[in-house]
Amino acid sequence: MFEITILGSSGAIPAYGRFPSCQYIQVANRFFLIDCGEGAQMQLSRFQIPIHKIQRIFISHLHGDHFLGLMGLLFSMHLQKRGSELHIHAFKGLDEIIIAQLKYSNSTLSYHLVFHTIKPENAETIYEDDALTVKSIPLYHRIACSGFLIQEKTKQRKINKDRLPAGILLQQLIALKEGKDIFDDRGTLLYKNEELTLPPPRSRSYAYCSDTSFNLEIAKQIEGVDLLYHEATFMQDEKKKAIETFHSTTADAAHIAIQSNTTELIIGHFSARYRDLEPMLKEAQNIFPNTSLAVEGQTFKISL
């Protein structure tokens, strides 16, 4: 499973039923939240997503529309007696905001909160386990801002059960999955890997590019990504406004999709000046046809 559920697609303020930025990610039995705008916990409840499954929260930057839903979510987890630790990846300063609110409300959470600081200038691995990595993507906004690139690691080869010889040992099966040939104690080849296994399932990837000016450096880092979310706050006729506010247009997002050779593009972070989003979608699709709108409640699945 590699799924992205849109919980918030609006820009600076909620508008026309659209909530500020928030997405729920399910990949390899890991459960992440990216950004946590106002109303995030309401959206999680609305779409029946259990909040205690969330293991890590990645905050792109410290503008309020990307984190003002966080404290409400943290307190709800506490009131529901969460026990497992929760990891937050964000820029320095968010930890101080959280501590201040806990201090002045005289509150102690029921679970351990682990804070990981993102460095604004670097593209680096900020989380890694045996199945995947999460890398930061330096973006170009009015304050320090980071996108996130989630990539599955190379998977194990699959055993071809139709070709398995009788009596093969468990440890030999494990070695075959790891791509190894099997030798006996004297170094004689017993089983050739390619004869008993099938290629591994492909590794998938997702890039989240939050608030940013158009910059082709982004495309270089996310080359070949399966699914790209890129902000498109304005239509192209508001390009000047986009430049002034360090945001992107629909055309900017589409050009990043082309330059990065992505398979599919999602646009979001829509300005409140747009009630009808269809013109934004069409403008992006004229450049990059495989474009979708970020719509609350919609789940995008990255297939094998």
- Please tell me which residue in 35, 65, 211, 252 is annotated as part of the active site: 65
Based on the fold, state whether residues 101 and 225 are members of the same structural domain: yes
**Distance between CA atoms of residues 233 and 269, nearest Å:** 5
Same domain for 220 and 86: yes
CA distance 60 to 138: 10
> Taking Cα atoms as reference points, which of 33, 2, 246, 280 lies closest to residue 131?
2
Residues 163, 124 share a domain: no
Same domain for 25 and 41? yes
Q: What is the C-alpha R_g of the chain?
A: 22
DSSP state of 41: H
pLDDT at 163: 79
| pLDDT by 10-residue block (mean), the chain, 304 residues | 97 96 96 98 97 97 97 97 97 97 96 95 93 97 97 85 81 80 83 80 95 96 98 98 97 98 98 98 98 98 93
With CA atoms as reference, report the closest residue to 60 among 121, 139, 133, 1: 139
pLDDT score, position 166: 80
| Boundary of a domain, candidates 198, 230, 264 | 198
Domain count along the chain: 2
- Domain with residue 89: its CATH number is 3.60.15.10
In a shared domain, residues 106 and 193: no
How many other CB atoms are there within 10 angstroms of residue 240's CB atom?
A: 9
pTM: 0.90
Give the CB-side neighbour count of residue 247, counting CA atoms within 13 A: 22
Among candidate residues 197, 200, 201, 199, the one with its CA nearest the CA of residue 161? 197
Is there a single domain that holds both residue 167 and residue 270? no
User: Same domain, yes or no, for 32 and 162?
Assistant: no
Strand partners, 218: none
Instruction: Tell me the CA end-to-end span of the chain in Å, nearest whole number.
Output: 9
Residues 225 and 130 in one domain: yes
What is the distance between the alpha carbons of residues 133 and 143, in angstroms, rounded to a whole number?
25
Q: Assess whether 80 and 192 both reside in one domain.
A: no
- Residue 201 is predicted with a pLDDT of 83
Active-site residue 65, yes or no? yes
Torsion region of 120: left, alpha or beta (phi above 0 gives left; psi -120 to 50 gives alpha): alpha
Domain residues for the domain of 239 are 2-155+201-301
